[in-house]
């Protein structure tokens, strides 16, 4: 189920920029949908409040009522909703959900207008058919408090100077010697440890889908995971994170909101997480503090200072239970997000996204996304789409990563866990 491989978001954006359609401030004629209801499953809880407002405003203009509910387990929620005959008309879900369910459950979006303005590049496809509207571009790595770091170092912090595990550990020691005892914030959630952090093994084999598929195939054919260079790299990084973890006394009791406060207030310097954290940090942020995002350290020189930037969420539209009128309204809502001034503003300024669509004129509104945009604009990104692992990856591997963090498993155990996982599964 492989689709066209993309390795540089920036290159695609430059090629597509001239194709973008101008925004319109209002539709020439507003469609009245006669009071229909659109159910919307939202798996980005941090935008729930603004999403409710935006859909309510659009709905009021089009005589549509939105029922927006959130979930942190989109696969489980979708399975339950389809089984009960109550599938959401619109789903904000993971690319893996689209890969797994697209052909059977979701509407073909291949002929939509916005496909030419970024949708074809970053939306999720199955066998060449587009089923996912790319909601936003995000990156995982380490979010950092630049001001707190520089206050201790007494010099400018340049993230590119600490691209290797050796250089980064020197920095951590310097911060500890300067009074920041534990500069790292490590989450305990299985999606963070088992998804994003462990996911570096797949993404950074060589930064491409082919590299990810090859790693899995090699593993299935008996090549020891413990001998893989990126696995060894991740273990080196993970051991550093554990040693300098602000939550090290009880790692699995780490509180996500408290982690956001630790970084925002400068109690720690680096949060192993992703560009999506700003809404969680914002209430703790002092306007005089600078923040950014950087990749985790790499031993492979070709992968250093490159960040994994990807369309982390898709919007899919149901084709099995939704009426034709509901589908039409849902499609018009997506057009509005891409092409109207109000929709473009909502995507960037209200939801806080870095958008996949090349025609959106709005610059990122928070410092983490601003920093991410510099990686995108300079071409220092990798993106291993369309590689997609099974949707149970986080649930199965997350607990093993948690066990490693608390010392109940070692590197050999974790390598064996990965081998066992792929012995009964295949990537999409």
The answer on pLDDT for 388 being more than 90 is no
Q: How high is the pLDDT of residue 167?
A: 98
DSSP string, 277-343: GHHHHGGG--TT--EEEEPPP-SSGGGTT-EEEEEEEEEEEBSSSS-HHHHHHHHHHHHHHHHBHHH
Choose among 333, 364, 334, 338: nearest CA to 351: 364
- Model confidence pLDDT, tens digit, residues 74-132: 999 999 999 999 999 999 999 989 989 999 999 999 999 999 998 887 889 888 899 99
**Helix, strand, or coil here: 17?**
helix
- Averaged pLDDT for residues 263-285: 95
Residues whose CB is less than 8 angstroms from the CB of residue 167 and which lie 6 or more positions away in sequence, other chains included? 161, 297
Q: Distance of CA 329 to CAs 112, 280, 337, Å?
A: 13, 32, 13
pLDDT score of 67 more than 80:
yes
Give percent of the chain above pLDDT 90. 81
Say what the pTM is: 0.80
d(C-alpha 111, C-alpha 55), whole Å = 24
Rg (CA), the chain: 21
pLDDT at 23: 52
- Angle, vertex CA 212, rays to CA 122 and CA 301, nearest 5: 95
Distances (CA, A) of 186 to 26, 166, 223, 245: 45, 19, 30, 6
Are residues 204 and 303 in contact, defined by beta-carbon separation less than 8 angstroms? yes
pLDDT tens per residue, range 2-21: 333 333 344 334 333 334 44
d(C-alpha 98, C-alpha 301), whole Å: 34
Least confident of 15-24, 33-42, 273-282, 353-362: 15-24
Q: Which of 232, 370, 201 is nearest to 290 (CA)?
A: 370
Q: What's the pLDDT at 350?
A: 94
Q: What is the pLDDT of residue 383?
A: 87
What is residue 386's predicted lDDT score, i.e. its pLDDT?
Answer: 77
Mean pLDDT of the chain: 92
Predicted local confidence at residue 26, as pLDDT: 42
Residue linked to tokens 């549509």: 64
pLDDT at 21: 45
* Per-residue pLDDT at 12: 38
Distance CA 379, CA 12 (A): 10
**Helix, strand, or coil (residue 134):** strand
- 283 in Cβ contact with 109 (< 8 Å): no
Which of these ranges, 87-96, 119-128, 171-180, 397-406, has the smallest mean pLDDT?
119-128
Residue 173 has pLDDT above 80, yes or no: yes
Res. 379: pLDDT tops 90: no
The per-residue pLDDT for range 318-375, each reduced to its tens digit, is: 999 999 999 999 999 999 999 999 999 999 999 989 998 989 999 998 999 999 989 9
Give the model's pLDDT for residue 6: 33
Q: Cα(337)–Cα(112) distance, rounded to whole angstroms?
A: 13
């Amino acid at each position: 189920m492989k689709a066209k491989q993309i390795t540089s978001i920036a290159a695609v954006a430059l090629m597509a920029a001239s194709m973008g359609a101008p925004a319109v401030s209002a539709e020439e004629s507003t469609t009245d949908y006669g009071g229909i209801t659109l159910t919307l499953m939202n798996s980005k809880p941090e935008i729930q409040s603004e999403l409710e407002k935006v859909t309510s405003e659009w709905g009021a203009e089009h005589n549509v009522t939105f029922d927006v509910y959130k979930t942190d387990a989109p696969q489980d929620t979708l399975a339950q909703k389809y089984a009960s005959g109550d599938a959401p008309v619109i789903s904000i879900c993971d690319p893996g959900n689209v890969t797994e369910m697209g052909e059977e459950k979701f509407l073909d979006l291949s002929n939509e207008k916005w496909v030419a303005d970024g949708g074809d590049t970053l939306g999720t496809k199955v066998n060449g058919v587009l089923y996912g509207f790319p909601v936003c571009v995000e990156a995982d790595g380490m979010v950092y408090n630049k001001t707190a770091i520089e206050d201790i170092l007494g010099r400018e912090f340049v993230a590119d100077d600490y691209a290797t595990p050796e250089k980064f550990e020197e920095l951590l020691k310097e911060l500890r010697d300067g009074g920041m005892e534990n500069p790292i914030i490590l989450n305990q959630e299985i999606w963070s440890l088992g998804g994003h952090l462990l996911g570096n093994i797949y993404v950074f084999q060589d930064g491409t889908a082919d590299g990810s598929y090859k790693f899995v195939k090699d593993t299935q054919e008996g090549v020891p995971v413990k001998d893989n260079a990126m696995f060894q790299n991740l273990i080196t990084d993970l051991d550093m994170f554990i040693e300098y973890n602000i939550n090290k006394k009880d790692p699995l009791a780490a509180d996500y909101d408290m982690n956001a406060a630790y970084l925002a207030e400068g109690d720690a310097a680096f949060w192993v997480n992703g560009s999506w954290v700003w809404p969680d940090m914002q209430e703790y942020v002092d306007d005089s503090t600078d923040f950014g995002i950087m990749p985790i350290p790499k031993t492979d020189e070709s992968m250093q200072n490159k960040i994994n930037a990807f369309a982390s969420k898709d919007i899919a539209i149901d084709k099995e239970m939704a009426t034709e009128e509901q589908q039409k309204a849902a499609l018009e809502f997506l057009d509005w997000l891409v092409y109207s001034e109000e929709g473009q503003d909502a995507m960037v300024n209200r939801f806080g996204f870095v958008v996949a669509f090349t025609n959106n004129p709005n610059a990122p509104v928070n410092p983490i996304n601003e920093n991410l945009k510099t990686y995108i604009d300079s071409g220092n990104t990798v993106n291993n789409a369309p590689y997609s692992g099974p949707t149970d990856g986080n649930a199965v591997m997350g607990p093993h990563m948690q066990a490693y963090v608390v010392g109940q498993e070692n590197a050999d155990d974790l390598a064996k866990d990965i081998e066992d996982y792929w012995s009964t599964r295949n990537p999409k």
